[in-house]
Structure 1
Amino acid sequence: MEQVEFIRMKDGTSEEYHFLEHLESEFNKGLADRILNALQGLATTLSGYKINRLEHSLQTAARAEADGADEEMIVGALIHDIGDDLAPYNHSQYAASIIRPYVRGEVAWVLHHHGLFQNFYYAHYFGGDRNERDRYRDHPCFQLCADFCERWDQASFDPAFPTPDLEHFAPMVRKIFSRKPFDPEVIGAEYPLG
């Protein structure tokens, strides 16, 4: 079989769906490479800063690594802004949805909320509430997200910071995104992302 016969999903057969599932499984083996390519694409996005978005992502991950973060959090730091091109107004949720099946719940929560937490540094200049993040003050991941932003994200716009290239992080990306999705032994406690 080279392709299914159905034109409506409700008409598909067991054989066709098993065929498609096999193709999807094979395609998904290339996820890490597609993520690395998407990260590389950040080199040509969003101007005005002293460094490009790829360099910012690499710096954020490098700072996480230097602080002794584990591979899940380092990869989370690396991809935290991967949605800037396609989801500029919800890039945080975009990044969280990509990594969520492969990491523990707190990493996904931090990525999901980092945009809101970053508002602390500039929302007041636009008449916004820089303390809007305080609605999550009692959440178990609040401080982790605040630290992610303070120590790594907001500090990573420095052209003089010694920053490794993307290949440095590629083995971690491949390791994380080759895991079995939603493995309960990996994701552990899930936190509602809303």
Structure 2
Amino acid sequence: MSDTQTVSFTQMKDGTKEDYELLDELEKPYIALAPDRILEELRKQDDPAHKGYKITRAQHGLQAATRAEEDGADIDWIVGALLHDVGDGLAPRNHDRFSAEVIRPYVRWEVAWTVEHHGIFQSFYYGHHYGWDRNARDRFKAHPCFQSCADFCERWDQSSFDPDYPTKPLEHFEPLVREVFARKAYDPEVIREGVVVGLP
């Protein structure tokens, strides 16, 4: 490995094995801090700048996660519920896909798929008020995760805008976030592609 703390190249195609070994080593502490950045993004969502709702976006995620936990959901579903809207700040028009990419390397395939598609499934509850097809989710009817996503939206997402619901604080869920993001990325034993557990 190189003795310097920077690579030798200015174009990636010119990099050496030593350059890429250096980058791999230097990236590890940055990757390890991902949970801190994710938790900070959730804290930013406590800003009431997202007007109109009775609660903040952070409170919505916390309430969805609380509902999931109280229903006896496993850690993947709880963290998925907590982070399902984490992309709202940077990608408000495709936050569902953005949020799914944040969790995809570390959670079950079914959970990532649900988070990725929850936007179109949620429109079932309000799309007709905008002149949209509220049944647009039906294009996924044959997908094995269809029912999981429909249940996620019904039980934990669309119902989690209640300021009087006894919602657990972020500190309660922080250890779960850290546990999930400490997993080996894309571990087949975690991802379990094609396996549908469903909601409890």
TM-score tier by shorter-chain length is: over 0.9
1:130 matched to 2:134? The reply is: yes
Ranges of 4+ aligned residues in structure 1 off by more than 3 Å: none
Specify the alignment match of 2:45 in structure 1.
42
Identify the match of residue 120 of structure 1 among 117, 124, 140: 124
**C-alpha separation in 1, matches of 2:194 and 2:31:** 23
TM-score of the two chains, using structure 2 as the length reference: 0.93
Indicate conservation of the 8 Å contact 1:104/1:190, yes or no: no
**C-alpha separation in 1, matches of 2:165 and 2:72:** 17
1:95 matched to 2:99? The reply is: yes
Identify the match of residue 150 of structure 2 among 146, 162, 170: 146
- Equivalence map 1:50-61=2 (5 Å): 50-61=54-65
- Equivalence map 1:3-22=2 (5 Å): 3-22=6-25
1:128-176 CA distance string (max 9 Å, x none): 0000001111211111101100001000111100011101000000000
Specify the alignment match of 2:29 in structure 1.
26
1:42-61 CA distance string (max 9 Å, x none): 11141110000000000000
**C-alpha separation in 1, matches of 2:30 and 2:112:** 23
- Equivalence map 1:145-164=2 (5 Å): 145-164=149-168
Secondary structure of the residue aligned to 2:186 is coil
Secondary structure of the residue aligned to 1:50 is coil
Specify the alignment match of 1:174 in structure 2.
178
Q: CA deviation at 1:89?
A: 0.9
1:65-86 CA distance string (max 9 Å, x none): 1111100010000000011111
TM-score of the two chains, using structure 1 as the length reference: 0.96
**C-alpha separation in 1, matches of 2:62 and 2:182:** 21
Indicate conservation of the 8 Å contact 1:57/1:79, yes or no: yes
Q: CA deviation at 1:190?
A: 5.0
Indicate conservation of the 8 Å contact 1:72/1:176, yes or no: yes
Specify the alignment match of 2:198 in structure 1.
none
**C-alpha separation in 2, matches of 1:75 and 1:183:** 17
Specify the alignment match of 1:80 in structure 2.
84
Q: CA deviation at 1:37?
A: 0.7
**C-alpha separation in 1, matches of 2:71 and 2:114:** 16
Indicate conservation of the 8 Å contact 1:6/1:12, yes or no: yes
The aligned amino acid for 2:26 is: L
Extract unaligned runs of 5+ from structure 1. none
The aligned amino acid for 1:103 is: V
Q: Identity, % of aligned pairs? A: 58
1:12-60 CA distance string (max 9 Å, x none): 1111110011011121011111111111111114111000000000000
**C-alpha separation in 2, matches of 1:21 and 1:70:** 32
Aligned residues: 191
The aligned amino acid for 1:67 is: D
